[in-house]
Structure 1
């Protein structure tokens, strides 16, 4: 860490006092709070300010830190909570739930409880039709990887397959999904052993080109739901005259 940097909490407190002195609450979240920060980590701060007309995001460099702010009034965060949960990636609820309260006029605890309850509830289960479509999509990507003989294309097919496998296994088990580094984190929260095999399978593929472990993993998550699906799949077919 840069010697000129303040400690994270002190930096966050000074930043809020300087940039948002009249806010109702502020919560510091992210890797610093979890004790997982690296040399390139920033400070993620959710600000609640009833003077703000609409939510916005803004980045700063201050007190030796890159600082990412997520600014809300006392109602806008609810729309973000809702949309995050509908897409099954609860970014803002997780930040608020895990976050450390920096300043509070009496609203932060109630908002954190809202976030906690949403996270505990989990995402809505897929409908039968959605599950069928997701099986079909995952099958299609598996077939693309099996049939490809172009290494450059295989790399990006595998990227897509990693995302689809992680989404399928988590959503069919009522779990939140992730993005980027949160793919592995979400899998670990669900099942450490499966997450280890997931990483191993894709590590083997990217190092050696071996596809068998990746394909086997995809088939494993599909099996409880009927396996691969191609023949008979239909979407948008209505009655025809």
Structure 2
């Protein structure tokens, strides 16, 4: 059960309330019964049902005799003359990021084919400073675009694409070894899937993410070795403490990326570079940099960067040459 709770924590947060509604099987109309259930009750019954397409509703019409005792043990007796549904509703509407993201879709892109919510909201680690990172797939866009806006007090980062533009951008991301779109689709929350497009994108994104980036070419590896070597020499020769800090910051990024390229892993900017390095077990690079910043000397950091260079084929200095691009 704990795995299911982890999986849905972003969509079924503490801000959600839950209602069990019963509808007459004999006639259509309003619910004939309705009562509140707890979040824990909802999490206990959810694994028995397919709620992926609409995580705010569980259709208890799917209750088969084999699982009925389990459901009634959690919810109490169910009237055989009623069809039951469990629906979610925000207790404090504007504080629920998933519901706010849904409202963005309803307001701006009601005819979207698919939409994903990624970032810290999707992972359940969001804070008061988090924004809503959304990918929206729409048929009739004149062109792909990125837009920043505010909705119900939340900052929103929209990445709007057609199917074609989405995969074009993914190809560029893969070539650059940075897969933000793939991450959002493979690991984020599929908010909308009007025609199966969302599931197809999610499956393909997961496959491409798992396949990893393309192997480094000789030219790329030499360029990265040269850049790292050059900065390392600047660090070794630095006599000004402030210069040393600035050079070391840049060297951390270059050496970190080189270490990841050697292992044929994805890259990332900012916090994502740190996460990639941790996943690759390159903690020593970060630890030695932290020691330098604390004033404990640059020797340890220099030694770790040297080791990264050795793993990539050694320093690249004399003999390095690149022709200027054609103009």
Which TM-score applies when normalising by structure 1? 0.90
Residue 147 of structure 1 pairs with residue 241 of structure 2:
no
Secondary structure of 1:89's aligned partner: coil
Residue of structure 2 equivalent to 1:128: 218
Give the gaps of 5 or more residues in structure 1: none
Q: Please list the CA deviations of residues 32-80 of structure 1 after superposition, one character each: whole Å capped at 9, or x if unmatched.
A: 1112222211010100010112110111211231111100012110111
CA contact (8 A) 1:123 1:176 kept: yes
Secondary structure of 2:94's aligned partner: coil
CA contact (8 A) 2:285 2:305 kept: no
Structure 1 residues 198 and 5, CA, compared in 2 at 3 Å: closer, same or farther?
farther
Secondary structure of 1:5's aligned partner: helix
Alpha-carbon separation, structure 1, partners of 2:98 and 2:312: 47
Shift of 1:209: 5.8
Alpha-carbon separation, structure 2, partners of 1:183 and 1:225: 18
Residue of structure 2 equivalent to 1:235: 322
Shift of 1:150: 1.6
Alpha-carbon separation, structure 2, partners of 1:35 and 1:178: 20
Secondary structure of 1:155's aligned partner: helix
CA contact (8 A) 2:113 2:192 kept: yes
Alignment match of 1:96 (pick from 185, 209, 220) = 185
Q: Please list the CA deviations of residues 172-229 of structure 1 after superposition, one character each: whole Å capped at 9, or x if unmatched.
A: 11100110111101112222xx22x222111111121611121111111112333223
Residue 187 of structure 1 pairs with residue 274 of structure 2:
no
Residue 204 of structure 1 pairs with residue 291 of structure 2:
yes
Residue 73 of structure 1 pairs with residue 162 of structure 2:
yes
Give the gaps of 5 or more residues in structure 2: 1-91
Shift of 1:4: 7.2
Alpha-carbon separation, structure 1, partners of 2:191 and 2:235: 48
CA contact (8 A) 1:4 1:64 kept: no
Higher relative contact order, chain-length normalized (CA < 8 Å, sep 6+): 1
Secondary structure of 2:263's aligned partner: coil
Residue of structure 1 equivalent to 2:308: 221
Alignment match of 1:47 (pick from 127, 136, 150) = 136
Secondary structure of 1:53's aligned partner: coil
Task: Give the RMSD, CA atoms, in angstroms.
Answer: 1.7
* Higher strand fraction (1 or 2): 2
Residue of structure 2 equivalent to 1:138: 228
Alpha-carbon separation, structure 2, partners of 1:234 and 1:10: 55
Residue of structure 1 equivalent to 2:5: none
Shift of 1:140: 1.0
